[in-house]
Amino acid sequence: MKIHQLINDTFEAAVKMEVDEPSELKRNRQRSINWVESLANEFRTKFPIAKDYGVFSKYYENEEKKQRREFGLNELLYDISVCKINYTISPRGTELAYIEKALWLVESEMAKDTRQLVYDFNKLVIGDSENKLFVGPLTSHNDEILDVFKKIVVNCKGNVWVALVPHPGKWDEKEFIPEVQKIN
């Protein structure tokens, strides 16, 4: 999977979504939700919802409600979790779904405060996954933020990517190209 293309496709899709919210705060919140759900949908194209894969995200609803039925929720600890699913049988003969392993863990935080970004990045440190992606906002001090993450990432297992995208409040201003890089 080409993560750069996935991020670019997601960003294009999220920016095009109509958001009819009168207040800037609500508009930015809805855009952030659109961003995460667009990214989750891109992962769903790469890992189709089938018996052995699941892409978990808070606002995902489909007609089958398979994930909610099997796991009791849509969001599994992270903004997006892409997991290999397996099944076991309970003592009473019921088929029970469980997470065999995480393939991708994704956290997205659009605060411009480095402390808030690190709070969410910490979730990736404690997660066990082949791949991890942190999405944050493009700022005037991207290099400094990346330097902070590079100090923390030495404690991570798996491949860790950082994608910096425009803050939702800037989506109307001009065209942007997200920055994506592997940091370990």
User: pLDDT tens digit string along 96-140?
Assistant: 989 999 999 999 999 888 999 999 999 999 999 999 999 999 988
Give the containing element (helix H, strand E) for 160.
strand 159-165
CA distance 39 to 84: 18
Strands 80-89 and 179-182: unpaired
CB 95 within 8 A of CB 89: yes
- The pLDDT of 15-28, averaged and rounded, is 89
pTM assigned to the model: 0.90
CA distance 80 to 32: 13
* Of residues 144, 99, 107, 142, the one with CA closest to residue 124: 107
CA distance 148 to 159: 17
Domain ranges of the chain: 3-182
CA distance 180 to 6: 10
Q: pLDDT-based confidence at 177, cuts 50/70/90? A: confident
